[in-house]
Every structure is written in structure tokens, then in C-alpha cells.
Amino acid sequence: MAQAIGRALLKRSSLLVEAGTGTGKTFAYLLPAMLRGGKVIVSTGTKNLQSQLFQRDIPQLRAALNVPITVALLKGRANYVCNYHLAQTKTEGLLESREQVAQLRRVEQFAQVTQTGDKADCVDVPEESGIWAHVTSTRENCLGQDCPHVKECFLMNARKQAQEADLVVVNHHLFFADVMLRDEGVAELLPTSNTVIFDEAHQLPDTATLFFGQMISTRQLLEWNRDTLAEGLSEAREIDWPTALRPLETATRDLRLAFGQGSQKLAWNQIGKTHGMWDALAKVRRELETLLPTLEDQAVRSEGLARCQARAEVLLAELKAWEKQDDPETIRWIDVSHSNVQLHRTPLSVADLFTKQREDTPRSWIFTSATLGVGDDFSHYQKLLGLEEAECARWDSPFDYAQQGLLYVPQNMPEPQHPDYLEAVLQAALPALQASQGHAFVLCTTLRAVDQLASRLQEELSKLKLDYPLLVQGSESRNVLLERFRQTPHAILVGSHSFWDGVDVPGDALSLVIIDKLPFAPPDDPVLAARLRKLEAEGGNAFMDFQLPAAIMALKQGAGRLIRTETDRGVLMICDPRLISKGYGKKIWRSLPEFARTREESVVTQFWRNGAA
């Protein structure tokens, strides 16, 4: 793999590499990149891999090669304490709880001693705490060179180090956000780099889709309201800012209330003309327009108020663009969550857009992951990103899956659309969970299935008097749940998409992975539905050309959680009978690692008796 990447670097070409778990792919791309020289950007899908590369893999390899390479770690601005907003928050006194007040003091103490300002290093405050939104900046509310704290800005310092480094480690979200928005991070690094390497590259199509589109949300509007209130109270006290801003806040909250309870995703044309959303949206726009003259008058008072005015104009333009959008290559849709409404404009394809990004300067582009293709066929991934001209290569995992693992598809399962399907999954899973004594992930394709299975599983474990700690997605942050799972004997973790990908639990802690059903994307997803209609209109087969390859790649990710080292042993249990009953099922299981296979519960039980647990 290192030799293939080395050749691609010499030719300044694009290369796709699927490398199974345990291949050592981080060394395989770092080695030729370090020896080749020049500016290198390595982009990862997760912060965990970003930290692993920076703290472990790169230092080890740099020492072994004895090469004088400088390295920098660059994260998105939301990861760095902002001294300006820290001071503003301390002055405002608008925090929501005593806990946040206490956390603010800890962040202030951290900011006085840290060299990086990276919130991951502030161990006294959880990364998911709400206080971070108050003490970090956004692209919209950053004062840039006009900030009174610019000389001690942690973000500017991190970017300066990245500019000067030979090798910079970023993540996909930062890469695309900066490149698309022409921010001052990656966008400035790219012109000087001769190599870009994407690890966990299977995540790129979704990340690119997110950033090549446009989005405005009620959360952005409320954050603007909060920032404008703080700036106004600080710089123009003669104006009654709370009274002036309250109508917009009310209208914004009414927009969320127009959708009722629960979460949903809707294409704009699925919403009837009499739906309350339209009036609520028009009211938000009118209230924002009403505020603009006051902001224009007060913008000269401070850089902060000038930024608030500029942000208001951008928000208003985005609202108007969403309401009037009429582009056949773009879909308008709405994502409603518990406390937020996002209005999206999403391109049906990112291939041309990504190709333009790659063509600006000749350089090497390396894409690697454990899951990029279906067998030796990379065409689905290539089409998504416009990489048809790229060379492709594949190396299987060195692990002995036939000896280390077992693929179990239980018998007598109903079809997934049957109303009792989840109950059947539970009843099939219980004997396997007893045989493995916990140590299990239960991976579901929907959050609804997570809640239902977790609730029923708790009931059944209590009836059986099995003291297997049950950890459920949503009860705590992903990182906290993972750490508890690793440290807690016999634990069972029930989760959805967050735990299918980028999760590493080697050893006996994870010895059983149960997947409720094949991970076909829901056909009512508005972006997917629009893409499938376009594919069919162009003469393609939506299922065979898109849905099946995407499901196979997702399933390979979920299955990849099980065997992480050459000594791991475990059972992969896929409950979906379509793996056996449908003609396409063979294509799916042939894309998985070469586990021994069974449909017999007794074989699973015997596997554990042979010393797997």
C-alpha cells in the first residue's frame, strides 16, 4: 500500500485504497508522504483518529525515519476557547444554571494556563457542556484582526502553526467548511500543499454534501439574537435591545412550534400551502427586516455591532434564497429536531463541485478507508465524488476471520416490515447475549429501534436476573458511553449510526455485534428520494446502482466493529432474513470479511464455550 501511494505521489495522481482492519494504513500513507516531502494535509473522519495520528502514529514514524518534519494539529474554531467571548460571557451574567457559572470559572482558569486553548484539554469541563457555545467563536461572530484579544488568540495561533508546518492533521468537516467558506484555515493551506490524504474517506460524500449545500436554522437565528443583545447592551445602552429583539426570538421559536412535537425530515413540496410553517417563516423574515435599520445606525459604534449587522444581512439573504429556490439540481428540504429547524438547500450531486476543488492546482489526492467498494468494485464511490479517473487498489485485512469470527443469521425471522420484527430480533438476540455474557453492541438502523429494543431488553434482562449493564445512545454523550462500555464488565450498548462507524473497542470488552437489519437508507429521506428519482430519470437502477452499494458499505462499517486485533474473537449476528432470502443477499455477505457462517443457535453457543468470552 505504501508503494502504491508513493507512486501516486510521484505522478501527482488520485488513488482510492480500501485497506481492511489491521492493515496498518496510517503508516502506509504517512511513510511515503513523509519521505516525499512538501506540504501534506491529512484529513480524518473523527477527532479520535486525528488525535491518534498527532499524538502517537506520526511521532513514532518520524522518530523511526529520523526526518525533521514539523507537524501541526488544526481543529475547527468551535474547539478553541475564544478570549473575547469568554470575557463577554463573564460580563453578561446570562448563563442558564449554577453549573454553567462554575464551568465558566474552570474555563477561565484553563485559558490562563493552556498553550493550545483546545477544549479537549480542559478535562474539568465536559466537551458536550453548553458552556462551550458561550466561550468559543463562530465564523459569523469572530472579530478577526479587529478583536482586542487577537494577539493571544488560540485559533489564530493554531492556524499560524499549521501554515508553518510540513504536515497538518485536520478533519473532514474542517476541510470542507474552510474550503467552501474561504475561511482562513485549510483554504490558505491548500495552495501550498502538494499532497492531500483523506483517511476514513467513506465519510466524504456525506460531509461534502453538507458543506456544498446551504443551510439556515432557528438555532443560528437565536444565536444571532443572543450575540446582538450582548453587543447592544455593551455598546449602545440607550436602546431597549431586549424589547427590540424579542419579536424575532418569539417568531423564531414559533417556527419550530409550527411543526408540532417529534423529529421529521420533509422536502419543501411535502408541506401543504396552508401549513403554519409558511406564515411563521414569513414572520421571521419580516422581524429580521424590521431590525436592520437599527443595526445599520448602530454598526459604527463597535466592530461587534458591525458584525451583527453583516450577519443579519446574510441570514436574511439565506431565508429569501430558501423561499425562492428553483434549481433542478438542488433540493430544498427541512430537518426538524427536538429544538431546532434547519432549512437546507442541497445539491443532488457533489461530483462536479468536488472535481472543481481538486482541479485548481495539480497535487496528489489519496482516499483510504476499510470500506470504499463492493468487493473490487469502487464505481459507486467514484461516481459520488467524481473520481472516475482515479486508480483503485484493495488490500484485505490480515486477520484470520474464519477462525476468529462467526457470522450468524438466525432462522425463522419475519420480514423487517412485519409489526413484530423488533420483538423477533430481541428474542433471537437473548440467547446470544447470554452465551457471550454481554460484551455486546446492539446496532440499530433507526433511533426508534434503539429506544424500543433497549426498553424491551431491560425488561427481559431483569426477568432473567442477568446483571448486564445496559448503555443506551442518547442517555450520555457518545464518548462517555464508549468509555463506560470499555470499563464495565458484561456491558451491552444499544446504539444507532453513531456507533456503526469510527468506534474501536479491541479485546474481550466487545465480543458480539448484533445488527437489527440491513442498513438501507430510509426511502423517505428527502435528499435520497430526490437523488433516486434523478438516477431513474437518467436510465439507472436506483436500487442496484445506489441503495444496495450504499447499504453494503454501511454494513461493512458496522461489521468492522467486531474484530479489531489479531487475537480478538467474536460473533457478528445479522438478524435480517433478506441476507439469505433475497437474490442480492449473496452480494452483501460476500462483501463482508470471510467469517465462518451459521444459522444454528447451538453453533453460536458452542463458539463461546470454545473460549471466545
pLDDT tens, position by position, 578-599: 999 999 999 999 999 999 999 9
Cβ atoms within 10 Å of 85's Cβ, excluding its own: 23
- State the Cα–Cα distance between residues 213 and 344, nearest whole angstrom: 7
Q: Are residues 550 and 415 in the same domain?
A: yes
Q: What was the pLDDT predicted at 534?
A: 92
| Alpha-carbon span 354 to 385, nearest angstrom | 6
What letter represents residue 610's amino acid? N
Say if residue 90 is in the same domain as residue 199.
no
Please give the Cα distance from 581 to 256 (Å, whole number): 43
Rounded mean pLDDT of the chain? 92
- Lowest-pLDDT choice from 89-98, 414-423, 454-463, 577-586: 89-98
Query: By C-alpha distance, which of 469, 472, 464, 419 is closest to 444?
Result: 472
Same domain, 181 and 249: no
Dist. CA 424–CA 416, nearest whole Å: 10
SS3 label, residue 387: coil
pLDDT tens per residue across span 254-302 = 999 999 988 889 998 888 888 999 999 999 999 999 999 999 999 999 8
Secondary structure letter of residue 42 according to DSSP: E
In this predicted structure, the answer to whether residue 185 has a pLDDT above a threshold of 70 is: no
pLDDT score for 181: 65
Residue 305 lies in a domain: yes
Q: What is the largest CA-CA distance in the chain?
A: 78
* Residue 159, in any domain of the structure: no
Q: Are residues 200 and 224 in the same domain?
A: no
- Mean pLDDT over 450-457 rounds to 96
Tell me if 357 is assigned to some domain. no
The answer to the question of residue 157 being in a domain is no
Q: What is the pLDDT of residue 612?
A: 43
List, in sequence order, every beta strand (DSSP E) within 45-92.
Answer: 71-73
The DSSP output letter for 520 is P
- Domain CATH code at residue 438: 3.40.50.300
CATH number of the domain that 319 lies in? 1.10.275
Is 354 inside any structural domain?
no
| Res. 189: pLDDT tops 80 | no
pLDDT digits (tens, 9 = 90+) for 305-322: 998 999 999 999 999 999
Q: What is the pLDDT of residue 603?
A: 95
- Average the pLDDT over 227-236 and give the result: 90
> How confident is residue 187, by pLDDT bands cut at 50, 70 and 90?
low
- Domain enclosing residue 334, as ranges: 217-347
- Looking at the fold, whether 35 and 19 belong to one and the same domain comes out as yes
Q: Using alpha carbons, list the distances in angstroms from residue 440 to 69, 91, 267, 350, 400.
A: 42, 48, 37, 37, 21
Domain membership flag for residue 359: no
Q: Are 179 and 187 in contact (CB under 8 A)?
A: yes
* pLDDT reported for residue 479: 82
Same domain? 112 vs 188: no
Whether 439 is in a domain gets the answer yes
> What's the confidence (pLDDT) of residue 611?
61
DSSP 284-307: HHHHHHHHHHHHHHHGGG-HHHHH
Distance separating alpha carbons of residues 516 and 453, to the nearest angstrom: 10
Report whether 352 contacts 365 (CB < 8 A). no
Domain membership flag for residue 222 = yes
pLDDT for 127 equals 82
- Give the residue ranges of DSSP H helices in 397-547: 401-404, 421-436, 447-463, 478-487, 526-537, 542
pLDDT band (50, 70, 90) for residue 183: low
Q: Are 515 and 563 in a shared domain?
A: yes
pLDDT (tens digit per residue) in 435-444: 999 999 999 9
Based on the fold, state whether residues 324 and 387 are members of the same structural domain: no
Q: Identify the CA nearest to 519 among candidates 457, 470, 575.
A: 575
Rounded Cα distance, 178 and 74, in Å? 12
Same domain, 445 and 577: yes
Whether residues 295 and 405 fall in one domain: no
By mean pLDDT, which of 16-25, 87-96, 528-537 is the weakest?
A: 87-96
Model confidence over 329-371: pLDDT tens digits? 999 999 999 889 999 999 999 999 899 888 877 899 999 999 9
Residue 443 DSSP SS3: strand
> Which residues, 6+ apart, have CB-to-CB distance to 536 below 8 Å?
542
Percent of the chain's residues with pLDDT above 90:
77
pLDDT given at position 438: 95
Rounded Cα–Cα distance for residues 141 and 144 (Å): 9
Both 376 and 525 in one domain: the answer is: no
The number of folded domains in the chain is 4
203 and 240 in a single domain? The answer is no
pLDDT tens-place string over residues 59-90: 999 999 999 999 999 998 899 999 999 998 98
